[in-house]
Each structure stands twice: as structure tokens, then as C-alpha cells.
Amino acid sequence: MKHAGFSLIELMIVVTIIGILVVIAYPSYTAHMERARRSDGQSALLDLANRMDQYFNENHHYTGATLTQLGVNGNSPEGYYSLAIENLSDNAFNLKAFPVGAQSGDLCGTLSLNQLGQRNFSGTTVTLSDCW
């Protein structure tokens, strides 16, 4: 008499195949999620730069601009980056987005943008085109 069902060997083969697929797919998935979350920081920096330019048009200098005055709460819209204004002078600024939470392990590290639109990052194992 033949029994219906799967043998232990068949189940182990299926579990092994699923394990191999997970090992291959998971790093790709996490890299994709980091890139998607990075766009949150990029868009927050671009928005902040636009607000800085509006501030400059109204005041004829960048000195004294704060996140609060610009209507920014200090975080990116999705909360994956913390924003800061650094090296502020009459005609120059440097904006930074520091990764926090789920994004804190991002290889690009801190994203930055200045008044000339020059983009930069603090990571060492990636290129500018990878991060921006």
C-alpha cells in the first residue's frame, strides 16, 4: 500500500531551495530599501536648500537662518534622516542629513548639500553617483 504525502528527503530539498533563495534575495532587498530610504534624505535636503534660497531672497544673507524659521522640524518627511544647517555665513551654507533609525547603517553615511548645489556624502566604500 502506497502512502500519500512527502518524504523527509523531499521536504529537506524544498527547505534547502527556499534557504538558498532567501540568502540570494535578502541582500538585494535590503540594498533596495536603503536606496529607497535615501531618497527621503535627498528630497529633504533639496527642499531645505530651496527654503534657504527663499530666506536669502527675503533677507539678502543666510546668517541667522534656522530650521524652525524655515518651517522644518529637523527630520526628513519619513524620519530616516535628521537635518542640520552647518557653516552658515552671509553667502554660504552647508546642509547635512544624518541617517537615523533603520537607515543608520547606510554605506553613504551623512548626505550634504551646499549653496552651489554641490552634493557630497561621508561614506568611504561608495561613490557620489551611488549616493546621489
Does 3 map to a domain? Answer: no
Render 68-89 in DSSP notation, one character per residue: TTTT--SB-TTSSEEEEEES--
pLDDT exceeds cutoff 70 at 1: no
Does 2 map to a domain? Answer: no
Does 4 map to a domain? Answer: no
Q: Which residues does residue 98 pair with via DSSP β-bridges, in sequence order?
A: 82
Q: Would you say 86 and 99 are in contact if contact means Cβ atoms under 8 Å apart? A: no
Q: Would you say 57 and 35 are in contact if contact means Cβ atoms under 8 Å apart? A: no
pTM of the model: 0.79
DSSP state of 126: S
User: How does pLDDT run across 48-105, given as a tens digit for each residue?
Assistant: 999 999 999 999 999 989 999 999 999 999 999 999 999 889 999 999 999 998 888 8
Domain that holds residue 73: 10-131
The domain total for the chain is 1
Percent of the chain residues past pLDDT 90, beyond the cut: 64
DSSP state of 32: H
